[in-house]
Structures are given as structure tokens and as C-alpha cells.
């Protein structure tokens, strides 16, 4: 969780096991754990990166994949 999403979640990194099959599945799992975070992940401009590559829409996930959720960037 990066930026404001980290504040909303209250954590930066978490190991989620077993790994959901898809990015949508991961979002659903996180929303189940924390409704406020689930809402925030659907917010405007929130992007997801799987293994440091930005993914649009859904994507398959494998055990060991790293998923990052990024709110709109602030720039440098």
C-alpha cells in the first residue's frame, strides 16, 4: 500500500495466503477484511502493479507475486 492507501490500511505490506487467483480476487479479499480500504482501492486514479508492472483491469496472480496499490502520484 503506497501513499494515502497505507494510512487507510494501517499497514504497508502484508503476506496474503493462500494467494487469490486474480487481482479482482485480491481486491475482494482485502475489501472483506476492511471495507474502508476496499472502497479506497476502487477510488479514482488508484492503480495496481503486479511485480512492479502496472496492470489495467484484472490479472492472474501466482503464489509469490507482489501486488502494489498506488493512489494518484504526487510527483517529485
Partner 1 sequence: MVRVQTAALDPGALLGEFCAGRTDCGGVVSFTGLARAATDGAAVSVLELDAFPGFTEPAIEALVQTARVRFGVRDTMAVHRYGAIRPGEAIVFVAVAAEHRRAAFLAADFLMDKLKTEAPFWKKETGPEGERWIEPRAPDYQDAERWSEDI
What are the residues binding partner 1 (CB under 8 A)?
2-4, 6-7, 49, 52, 68, 70-76
Question: In whole angstroms, how close is the CB of 54 to partner 1 at the nearest point?
Answer: 9
Looking at the DSSP bridge assignments, the partners of residue 53 are 50
What is the smallest separation between the CB atom of 23 and partner 1, expressed in angstroms? 16
Distance CA 14, CA 25 (A): 16
Name which of 59 and 68 has its Cβ closer to partner 1. 68
Q: Report the residue number, 14 or 32, with the smaller CB distance to partner 1.
A: 14
Cα-to-chain-centroid distance, residue 49 = 8
CA nearest neighbour of 69 among 8, 20, 19:
8
Amino acid at each position: 500500500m503506497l501513499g494515502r492507501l497505507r494510512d487507510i490500511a494501517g499497514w504497508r505490506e502484508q503476506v496474503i495466503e493462500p494467494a487469490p487467483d486474480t487481482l479482482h480476487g485480491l481486491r475482494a479479499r482485502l475489501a472483506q477484511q476492511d471495507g474502508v480500504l476496499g472502497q479506497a482501492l476502487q477510488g479514482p486514479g488508484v492503480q495496481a502493479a503486479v511485480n512492479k508492472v502496472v496492470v489495467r483491469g484484472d490479472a492472474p496472480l501466482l503464489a509469490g507475486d507482489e501486488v502494489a496499490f498506488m493512489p494518484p502520484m504526487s510527483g517529485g
